[in-house]
Amino acid sequence: MYRDIDKPAYTRREYITGIPGSKIAQHKMGDRQTDEDDYPVQISLVVEETVQLRHGSLEAARLSANRHLIKELGEGNYKMILRKFPHQVLRENKQATGAGADRVSDGMRQAFGKIVGTAARIQSGERLFTAWCDVEQAAAVKEAYRRAYNKITPPCRIRVERGEELLIA
């Protein structure tokens, strides 16, 4: 219902009241102090369609990927970042149902809608997650990304952005 980008951006939070808080607990995971250049391999999860992702599905994908990496690699042996923030505010014109609903509801008259949540707008080819790791940990990162993209709707691709020659050799 909210997957397609069909309306203009609705993001000016200073004018909008009643926006529910984001479910995303953290954007940087793993060893935050280590520099990205210290890791030889950089792997990203790339979205292949222009789409809106709700904050609940972003958090579910982040949680499943991070849990797998903590279990396989340990807390401080990798660095991962969620690159998108849910800025887009979603509205829904709630309809009354049941007996007597036609007398209570206004139908489509002044149907601006109530705020129901937030979403991140992601363009085709943009990176959703990026992780930095060692060469022998790349398989665990790829498996974590596979688990993550099962939680979101658009088709995704795992792209090795740095250190691909180390993984092939």
- Within a 10 A sphere around the Cβ of 123, how many other Cβ atoms? 10
Mean pLDDT across 85-99: 87
Q: Is the pLDDT of residue 169 over 80?
A: no
pLDDT of residue 149: 94
As a whole number, the mean pLDDT across the chain is: 92
Q: Provide the pLDDT confidence category of residue 103 given band limits of 50, 70 and 90.
A: confident
pLDDT, tens only, 31-75: 999 999 999 999 999 999 999 999 999 999 999 999 999 999 998
Residue 90 near residue 117, CB atoms below 8 Å? yes
Q: Is the pLDDT of residue 85 over 80?
A: yes
- Within a 10 A sphere around the Cβ of 134, how many other Cβ atoms? 16
CA–CA dist 135, 133 (Å, integer)? 7
Nearest to 43, CA basis, from 125, 168, 157: 157
pLDDT, tens only, 105-125: 777 888 888 999 999 999 999
Whole-prediction pTM: 0.88
CA–CA dist 12, 53 (Å, integer)? 18
Sign of CA dihedral 167, 149, 122, 51: positive
- Percent of the chain past pLDDT 70, that is, above it, reads 99
pLDDT of residue 93: 87
pLDDT of residue 2: 85
